[in-house]
Structure 1
Amino acid sequence: MAANRVGKSEAGSYELTCHLTGVYPHWWTGRRFDEPVECWAVGTNSQTTRDIVQAKLLGSVQAPGTGMIPAHLIKKTINARGLAGALEGAQVRHISGGVSLVGLKSYEQGRQSFEGTAKHVIWCDEEPPQDSYTEMLYRTITTQGIIMVTFTPLQGMSAVVKGFLEPESPESAKFKTFIQAGWRDVPHLDPAEREALIATTPPYQIAARTEGEPSLGSGAIYPIAEREILVPTAAIPASWPRCYAMDVGWNRTAALWGATDPGSGRIVLYDEHYRGQGEPASHAEAIKARGDWVRGVIDPASAGSSQIDGRALIDIYGRLGLRLEPAQNAVEAGLTETWNLLVSGRLVVQEHLSNWRSEFRKYHRDEQGRIVKVSDHLMDAMRYLVLSGRHAMQPPPRPAQRSRLSRGTAALTDWMGA
């Protein structure tokens, strides 16, 4: 998962060549195949498969045999129908004396085209559709094979990207890994060329195209690079006023804490609570553990009946010891104010807030301009905090101190009673 022009396709074609030929460099610590393999190399459509994938592996139409696979190891190529110069696949000599097979395919052929035969290695150049990717995974089960995906994440936090960045379970994480690379990681791009490319790239695509960070495209609600609003994790000074905002629900209840730097007025989001299907008492205890003196603002819908027994959630949480008031829920005004604070540097986020970062990456509008209400609990909480929580912020209470008079009176009483 990398930026444009950093060598993704070269890396993918190189590894696939190693597996097809069985010839590995001395430093190779990855997967090895000692016997001939059957593989797929897949592009977006038939033309890009020919012009990019085929060219990287086997050479261009004008210069066959000049790709990553050495010409003397290409035993035979198989022509494809319909597109001039396109190949359907090739036979490649393996170091064991056998012959490996590589088929050239495209996503435009649809999920059904990936059914059937087992494969040892599949290389996807550019991000595949989720249904095709899942079908390809099943082609590697009996061979204990691998899938490599080399792409720039222009589709944002898609199902495929999320599967790598945020695996659904620890078990899933064991079988997936990813490497991100940006322009700062490669020396071959000329600085003047970089500057020209950035100047002609839509702002919402810059992070994806230059750093390999998922981009939501023009539908992103906050089209700003994550790196520009993150700050290192640090303890909040005791004197800073703070508050939290809650978004409540049965499937997920979230709370987000913010503090204001009195000197600069900058708001720092520094803690989060993110838990599903819990009783109000469990959420209340977790929130009070961050400081039971901190005031909060809550989703105004909480003033309605709860899903438990008809009582208002705000009242339930109040009896559990939370100091809450309903937040304003002016959605567009809240989004605009939050955006103004983010883009001006007056609202920043500590980098350890993983759930906030996950939601931020996916927070977008659909084709009709409507907010996609999926995994947006902390985004709602941030909006409540910006619109209403800032006015509820207060510093920690000072410890109670006994006056000199009270201490003297106590001493006199003790003496008189002696």
Structure 2
Amino acid sequence: MHLTGQYPEWWDGRRFEKAVVVIAGSESAELTRDGVQRLLVGPPDREEDWGTGFIPQSAIVARTRRMGVSNALDTVTVQHVTGERSTLYLKSYDQGRSKWQANTVDFVWFDEECPEDLYFEGITRTNATKGSVMMTFTPLRGMSAVVQRYLLEPSKDRTTVTMTIDDAEHYSDEERNKIIASYPAHEREARTKGVPSLGSGRIFPVEESLITIAPFPIPDHWPRIGGLDFGWDHPTAAAELAWDRDSDTIYVTKGYRRREATPVLHAASLKPWGEKLPWAWPHDGNNDTAAGPNLASQYRSQGMNLLPDRATFEDGSNSVEAGLMEMLDRMQTNRWKVFSNISEWFEEFRLYHRKNGKVVKEIDDLLSATRYAMMMLRSAELPKQVAFKMPKRDLRGFI
């Protein structure tokens, strides 16, 4: 649409009012030919079909071939509705960043995830024209720096559109289930839902759908507890858990995450969860601070009901691995549910992984707060006292 200027009436996205210069490419020359070129121009192995892609044949004015790769194109000149001519450059990542530097362009299309340096080069190429950059890919490389930028760093200048297998309406439910089952577990959510994959290093290799539940009113007879993870440059985080003791199921019902704020501000946001809500907290809450009392004392002074001692298991231990394994065991046995509206919790859940066998302690604040609360589940309390009045009985005649 941008190359030709032929926009459908329903299109409410960006419109270029002039001919444009576009760079499009993929990981290699062959993948660019078989992907980008096939979609825009037509099947590469049948030159007589060139012009059956998204660019109408009547709009293709000229084309040049790429040397060294059979049936691969280097440039395509496209007639624009203004009478001017647009230019499409076809490139590949394996050419290196220098091959993407020469042009000032209006639009860049990365088909398949590109290296971070190439992504920033694409942005640079569009700065002068105030152009746009688009990427289309399945996030099999996990929570890379590029993916993090889109999913974890909100900006009015960026947006993400996710297509899942449920959007492929030409599949029947039976066909969808068969396709999903054909993928290995660690790739299933990436390939069918666009959830970044972390492969075998993922700490919670559990399908997101198995732990997600729509929010609902928590019964009064379910005890609750909150968990705090203190931070400054990395966020302070809080989570509330509700415990269905009949099924021994934990529900993560609330989440909070905010960086560079004082205990006064955090407490103001968290006290509405319940003034009597008990709060589990980590060992660093006892550390002295230059500003005065330790963190635990500062939160208590703001009216929050922090437990007397830091979070530990019942035997007094506080192993991170033990906590993670209990969380995973509950997820795998259908005893762990998370309200679907806690988007920040799921962001961390998707990212949480190991490297060289060790837990990567990055973007894990809500998960840590959740783990502290789970460790102290024995201290969970009912949101309000429930009084029971026993009926009077005539006990005469009983011995």
Both proteins in one fold, TM over 0.5: yes
Residue equivalent to 1:106 = 92
Residue equivalent to 2:326 = 337
Shift of 1:194: 4.0
User: Partner letter of residue 268 of structure 1?
Assistant: Y
User: Partner letter of residue 186 of structure 2?
Assistant: Y
Residues of 2 paired with 1:32 and 1:282: CA distance? 43
Moved more, 329-338 or 182-191: 182-191
Residue equivalent to 2:76 = 90
Residue equivalent to 1:372 = 360
Residue equivalent to 1:306 = 289
- 1:390 maps to 2:377: yes
Secondary structure of the residue that 1:207 maps to in structure 2? Answer: helix
Residues of 2 paired with 1:378 and 1:183: CA distance? 29
Residues of 1 paired with 2:364 and 2:61: CA distance? 54
Tell me if structure 2 keeps the 8 A contact 1:244–1:389: no
Tell me if structure 2 keeps the 8 A contact 1:35–1:98: yes
**Partner of residue 158 from structure 2, selected from 154, 172, 176:** 176
Q: 1:320 to 1:189 in 2, by over 3 A?
A: closer
Q: How does 1:180-259 map to 2 (within 5 A)?
A: 180-189=162-171, 194-251=176-233, 252-259=235-242
Residues of 1 paired with 2:103 and 2:361: CA distance? 39
Shift of 1:278: 2.8
Shift of 1:60: 3.1
User: Partner letter of residue 138 of structure 2?
Assistant: T
Secondary structure of the residue that 1:340 maps to in structure 2? Answer: helix
Residues of 2 paired with 1:240 and 1:344: CA distance? 20
Residues of 1 paired with 2:320 and 2:230: CA distance? 16
Residues of 2 paired with 1:192 and 1:349: CA distance? 27
Shift of 1:193: 5.2
Secondary structure of the residue that 2:205 maps to in structure 1? Answer: coil
Residues of 1 paired with 2:169 and 2:262: CA distance? 54
Tell me if structure 2 keeps the 8 A contact 1:220–1:363: yes
Residue equivalent to 2:391 = none
- 1:275 maps to 2:258: yes
Tell me if structure 2 keeps the 8 A contact 1:256–1:271: yes
Residues of 2 paired with 1:314 and 1:26: CA distance? 59
Give the number of equivalent residue pairs: 377
Residues of 2 paired with 1:346 and 1:107: CA distance? 45
Shift of 1:196: 4.4
Secondary structure of the residue that 2:3 maps to in structure 1? Answer: helix
**Partner of residue 51 from structure 1, selected from 34, 45, 64:** 34
Secondary structure of the residue that 2:127 maps to in structure 1? Answer: coil
Shift of 1:307: 5.2
Residue equivalent to 2:110 = 124
Q: 1:72 to 1:276 in 2, by over 3 A?
A: closer
**Partner of residue 327 from structure 1, selected from 298, 311, 316:** 311
Show structure 1 runs of 4+ deviating over 6 A. none
Residue equivalent to 2:335 = 346
Residue equivalent to 1:151 = 137
Shift of 1:52: 1.4
Unaligned stretches of 5+ in structure 2? Answer: 313-317, 389-399
Residues of 1 paired with 2:124 and 2:148: CA distance? 19
Shift of 1:134: 2.1
Structure number having the greater helix percentage = 1
Moved more, 240-249 or 152-161: 152-161
Residue equivalent to 1:60 = 43
Secondary structure of the residue that 2:358 maps to in structure 1? Answer: coil
Residues of 2 paired with 1:82 and 1:206: CA distance? 37
Shift of 1:139: 2.0
TM-score calculated relative to the size of structure 2: 0.85
After superposition, the C-alpha distances for 1:112-165 in whole angstroms (9 at most, x for unaligned) are 332242212222211222322222122223323222222112233333333333
Residues of 2 paired with 1:314 and 1:90: CA distance? 65
Q: 1:269 to 1:307 in 2, by over 3 A?
A: farther
Residues of 2 paired with 1:88 and 1:163: CA distance? 30
TM-score calculated relative to the size of structure 1: 0.82
